Amino acid sequence: MVPLLDQFYYFAFTVLIGVVAGFCYDLYKVTRGTLRLRKLGTALGDILFWIMLTGVVFTLLLVGNGGEVRLYVLIGLTLGAVIYLNILSRSATSLLQLTFRTIHRLWRLFLRLLYIIWRIICWPFRAIYLVVAVPLGLVAGLLGKVTNMLFGKPIRSLKRSIRSRLSSIFPIFEYKDPD
């Protein structure tokens, strides 16, 4: 026979397990609201929640009273959940929502800081590109136009003559130039 004090300890522990189960429910409720799960996500989340909660309660019952499930255990679990949901649930839900909002804001701040750091790292390369590549591109474009105006006709006729001679030797060079 189990002493009365041990039975009281087991009952108090099962009430505490009920409180933990109520907190887990609020945690899942806030998580589901934060993630904005749709019907399928909610159904899968509910199934996963109850499987995980069953595992947590079973593990705590094994630790607390050797896994014995008696009427006082069920009454203690129910009483703990009812106490939690009626007394602590609102403040815990508010605290969990505040925690989730804070984590979300910190995450957004972290991403903004990464973006700013990336811009700072890339700034010298962009400056070099603007200082070197853009003027060189303009010079190359102007040089190409001037070269085409000065040497365009002789170069085109030279290309045609080389292609015609090569095409007489190798049939692969029978490509006609569109100009």
Contact 76, 11 (CB under 8 A): yes
Please check whether residue 60 lies inside any domain of the structure: yes
The domain in which residue 63 lies consists of 4-124
Please check whether residue 162 lies inside any domain of the structure: no
Contact 177, 163 (CB under 8 A): yes
Output the CA torsion 12→13→17→19 (10° steps).
Answer: 30
Write out pLDDT tens, residues 71-128: 888 999 999 999 999 999 999 999 999 999 999 999 999 999 999 999 999 999 888 8
For the full predicted model, state whether its pTM sits above 0.85: no
Helix (H, G, I), strand (E, B) or coil at 164: helix
- The amino acid present at 171, given as its one-letter code, is P
Please check whether residue 177 lies inside any domain of the structure: no
Angle at Cα 63 formed by Cα 57 and Cα 64, nearest 5°? 85
Q: How far is 57 from 18, CA to CA, in rounded Å?
A: 8
Closest CA to 83 of 9, 7, 18: 18
Write out pLDDT tens, residues 35-73: 888 899 999 999 999 999 999 999 988 988 888 888 888
Look up residue 143 and give its two tokens.
């040089």
Please check whether residue 160 lies inside any domain of the structure: no
142 contact partners, CB below 8 Å, separation of at least 6: none
- The amino acid present at 126, given as its one-letter code, is R
Please check whether residue 24 lies inside any domain of the structure: yes
Domain count, the chain: 1
What is the model's pLDDT at position 172? 64
Please check whether residue 91 lies inside any domain of the structure: yes
Please check whether residue 112 lies inside any domain of the structure: yes
